């Protein structure tokens, strides 16, 4: 499941909306919506996310968060380490091989390190 798919499912469940009803309102098939929720489809496009925002009447920070989650929800990532250090290439390969063995606490710790690096890069 992707971060966007998990949030979409939470929104739908909290409002008691059936998958087929939401799919019809958004102009997609229930199969597509289910695949999106379960991470079997790639990151949704901006237009689809906007339709979800309108459908649920999501505003401001929550809308921005949904867009951010959509951006972070591509289930198959390619990491190009060409031109980076050997350490960066090793890390990318190790993460690709071991991510399925990490528990939620370990994933959260790695995510926190990346958040710190992103904050430092923004200055």
For residue 91, is it within any domain? yes
User: Which residues, including other chains, have CB under 8 Å from residue 75's CB and lie 6 or more apart?
Assistant: 2, 39, 40, 41, 42
Same domain, yes or no: 66 and 28: yes
> Is 96 within a domain?
yes
80 part of a folded domain: no
Whole-number pLDDT of residue 123 = 83
Q: Which stretches in the chain have pLDDT values below 70?
A: none
For 26, 40, 43, 52, the CA distances from 29, given in Å and listed in that order, are 9, 14, 16, 14
Helices (H) and strands (E) in the chain, counts: 7, 0
Domain containing 67 equals 3-71
Same domain, 15 and 50: yes
Residue 75 confidence (pLDDT): 80
Q: Are residues 66 and 91 in the same domain?
A: no
Asked, for residue 81, whether it belongs to a domain, the answer is: no
Residues 11 and 47 in one domain: yes
Query: What per-residue confidence (pLDDT) applies to 61?
Result: 94
- Any idea which residue has 């966007």 for tokens? 4
- Asked if the structure places residue 102 within a domain, the reply is yes
CATH number, domain of 47, equals 1.10.260.40
Q: How far apart are the first and last CA of the chain?
A: 32
Counted domains in the chain: 2
Side-chain half-sphere CA neighbours of 113 within 13 A: 5
Distance CA 49, CA 46 (A): 5
Chain segment 74-85, per-residue pLDDT in tens: 888 899 999 999
Q: 48 and 95, same structural domain?
A: no
- Together in a domain, 27 and 65: yes
């Amino acid at each position: 499941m992707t971060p966007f798919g998990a949030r979409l499912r939470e929104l739908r469940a909290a409002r008691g909306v059936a998958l087929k009803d939401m799919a019809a309102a958004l102009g997609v098939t229930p199969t597509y919506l289910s695949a999106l929720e379960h991470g079997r489809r790639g990151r949704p496009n901006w237009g689809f996310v906007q339709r979800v925002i309108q459908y649920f009447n999501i505003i401001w920070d929550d809308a921005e968060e949904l867009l951010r989650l959509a951006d972070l929800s591509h289930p198959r990532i390619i990491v190009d380490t060409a031109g980076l250090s050997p350490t960066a290439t090793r890390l990318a390969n190790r993460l690709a091989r071991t991510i399925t063995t990490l528990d939620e606490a370990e994933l959260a710790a790695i995510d926190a390190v990346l958040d710190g690096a992103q904050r430092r890069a923004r200055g």
